Structure formats: structure tokens, C-alpha cells
Amino acid sequence: MVTIIYLLITALIFFFIGYFVGKSRAESVTVVETRTNNSPDKNPIASASPREDEQKVDEVPTESAPPKESHSGQQPITLLTHPRNDQKDNLTRIKGIGVKIEEGLNGVGVYHFDQIAAWTQENVVWADKKLNLMGRIVREKWIDQSRLLAQGEETEFSKRVDKGKVISSKKES
């Protein structure tokens, strides 16, 4: 019997704690809503009329807006099924491309520096999304590096890769 009374008292205590915590959170949400509302003297929850910046359903234009552009990019036309002369370029010589990304590029048909050097902005968007690169192509200037490397020139990074000083560019044997 005593145990049941203790359980009931404990339940009531937790009920009141939950009530007051919930109430204080609800008040803080109301304060935030009131502060973000353009007119501080109105209660945004109690207001049944639409705000000035909202359109009424009757005022929606009947012409449909043009569809938003798809930012999926365009697949490069220079994708290959296999490397030319069965000899691919070491794409890890491009700063920002490690072994895993090189494998991904090879998987979609990119094996050579000149392929990357020829990419348009739309191709960059396509490759970025296809390989989930999150902006690395532009941020790490892959196209500029590829142009130099395709012409037989070197970058400081490619020199370090060639000397074996870049861990992420080392392939497992």
C-alpha cells in the first residue's frame, strides 16, 4: 500500500514538472513567433486574417510559372568505356583526387587529364553530383590543373605525387 502511494506521489511530481517545463517552452516559442511577426502587437496564433505579405487564394495568378531549371548538369561527351591505348593517366596527380575519387572517375568513364580539362560548367555540375564531390572540382581547380598536366607540364602537387610524398595518391599494390 505504501509503495502505491509513493508511486502516485512520484507520478504527480513528474506530471507537474512536465507541465511547467512544457509551458515554459510554449511561452518561449510564442515569444519567438511574436518577435518574428512584422507587427508586435498582434498575436500570430490568434489572428484569423492573412498577414499583408501573404496572398489570398483568389489572388494567385492563373498562368503557371516556368519550371525551375534542373541543376543536374550535363554529362560530358568525352566519357570513355576504357582508357585510350589501355593507358590511363594518373588522375591522383591532380590535387584533390585521391585513389578513391580516381576510381569513381574511372567508373564513369574519365581516365585522362584532357577529359577533365575539356569540362564545361554543366559537366562540372554533373560530375559533382554523380560522384558526390560537394564542390571539390571548382574549389580545388581540377580543370586548371588538368590543362597543365594534359600539356605535359607539372604542378607542385604532381611533382610531390611523382616522388611518392602524397599518401592519399599511393595505390595499394
State yes or no: pLDDT of 31 exceeds 60. Answer: no
What's the pLDDT at 7? 81
pLDDT tier for residue 128 given thresholds of 50, 70 and 90: very high
pLDDT tier for residue 78 given thresholds of 50, 70 and 90: confident
State yes or no: pLDDT of 166 exceeds 60. Answer: yes
Task: Convert the chain into a string of H (helix), E (strand) and C (coil).
Answer: CHHHHHHHHHHHHHHHHHHHHHHHHHHHHHHHHHHHCCCCCCCCCCCCCCCCCCCCHHHCCCCCCCCCCCCCCCCCCCCCCCCHHHCCCCHHHCCCCCHHHHHHHHHHCCCCHHHHHCCCHHHHHHHHHHCCCCCHHHHCCHHHHHHHHHCCCCCHHHHHHHCCCCHHHCCCC
Mean pLDDT over the full length of the chain: 78
State the average pLDDT over residues 16-23: 70
State yes or no: pLDDT of 19 exceeds 90. Answer: no
State the average pLDDT over residues 138-156: 97
What's the pLDDT at 96? 95
